Structure 1
Amino acid sequence: MKSNQYEMRKTWKVKGNRDELFEILTNAVDYPRWWPSLFLDIEDTGVVKEAGGNMYALRSTGGWFPATLQWNLVNVNESTPYRVSVRACGDVTGRGTWKLTEDGEYVNVELLWILEADKPLLKYLSFILKPVFMANFHWCMKRGYESLNLELQRRRATSHEEIRQLPSPPGPTFQPKEKVKSS
């Protein structure tokens, strides 16, 4: 494995059903609203015929690093409501897959990312900082788990008052100013 290549895995056990989780996880344009600690902006740039799916231009935080990542994401394989795979290119390049497996009243949500860090800072410092970057990934996933559970509570709320009483999802550690650039 190259020093700037990462295999990142995370599993969440979420109380819910596979259909509602699949709907949340495959609606990329909503990520900044419910997972703002990681996703700052996402723009749907339309269908990419070669890939057979929509392309999204993303601007995400570097987690607790004071950096942003610019990348594009394309849905390349979807097996509703079990699995969705995406291809990423830009500051990171690779493939990610969400896999959803029901387990009683819970769903096991598995994420596997196989990426190469192409942003110069990440690419050239990976050989030294890979453990720090992996710790950052786990921090981001912890915020995502918290945010996903809050989103489920928001969707299941029966009144506006119930929604207002929910805390906001954890936000980014810093707020950069630049916007998404479509490629």
Structure 2
Amino acid sequence: MIKYLFKTVWHFDAPPQKVWELIKDARSMPEWWPGVKRFEILSKEQEMLQGCRIQTAVKGLTGDLNFELEITKAVPFGEIVMQSRGDLTGQGVWTLTADNGNTISTYIWEVSTTGRLMNFLGFVFKPLFIWNHNRVMKAGYTALKKRL
């Protein structure tokens, strides 16, 4: 397995409550976030709440990355902690911090690849995979800013 540690920091000219309202409606993510192909909530609750399971597909460089997220902690307007299983295994922590009426969004994504091809190619192409991750995250940031 190849390990990756990503830290993404976004700044929004909106309070955490407004940002939270958009990200907690996870079902709509494929509509506005380029690169996110599937974000299907499998749980009875149709919001990103503790215990929620989400089937996810993200466009990768060698094909789609398919993984399931399980939310292990959800603090309204503040933090979501997710465990990932599938093509990516690990943990993501998304925090929203108030900053003078604005929001600082920090996403820490610590995962390992499980697929043979991704692991084989990761030894050589890891910088390219990191670039792709950053590209997808930047597209999400741009789209989320427009929605705010």
Q: How high is the TM-score relative to the length of structure 2?
A: 0.90
Structure 1 residue 19, shift from structure 2 partner: 0.8
The residue correspondences of 1:2-151 to structure 2 (distance < 5 A) are 4-35=2-33, 37-46=34-43, 52-62=50-60, 65=61, 67-151=63-147
Tell me if the contact between 1:26 and 1:84 (Cα under 8 Å) persists in the aligned partners. Answer: no
Shift of 1:31: 0.9
Structure 1 CA distance, aligned partners of 2:147 and 2:114? 31
Q: Take 1:116 and 1:28, find their aligned partners in 2: how far apart are those partners?
A: 23
- Scaled by the length of structure 1, what TM-score is found? 0.73
The alignment's C-alpha RMSD in Å is: 1.7
Aligned to 1:171: none
SS of structure 1 residue aligned to 2:77: coil
Code of the residue aligned with 1:121 in structure 2: it is L
**Deviation digits for residues 7-53 of structure 1, max 9, x if unmatched?**
00110111101011112223221111121x12112222116xxxx51
Change (3 A) 1:141 1:21: same
Identity %: 24
Residue deviations 1:39-75 (CA, integer Å, cap 9, x gap): 112222116xxxx51111112211xx25111111111
Q: Please report how far the alpha carbon of residue 120 of structure 1 lies from its aligned counterpart in structure 2 after TM superposition.
A: 2.1
Match of 2:28, as an amino acid? D
Note the residue ranges of structure 1 that are not aligned, 5 or more in a row: 153-183
Instruction: Tell which structure's C-alpha radius of gyration is larger.
Output: 1
Query: Equivalents in 1 of 2:28, 2:97: separation in Å?
Result: 22
Aligned positions, number = 144
**Cα distance in 2, alignment partners of residues 22 and 105 from structure 1:** 14
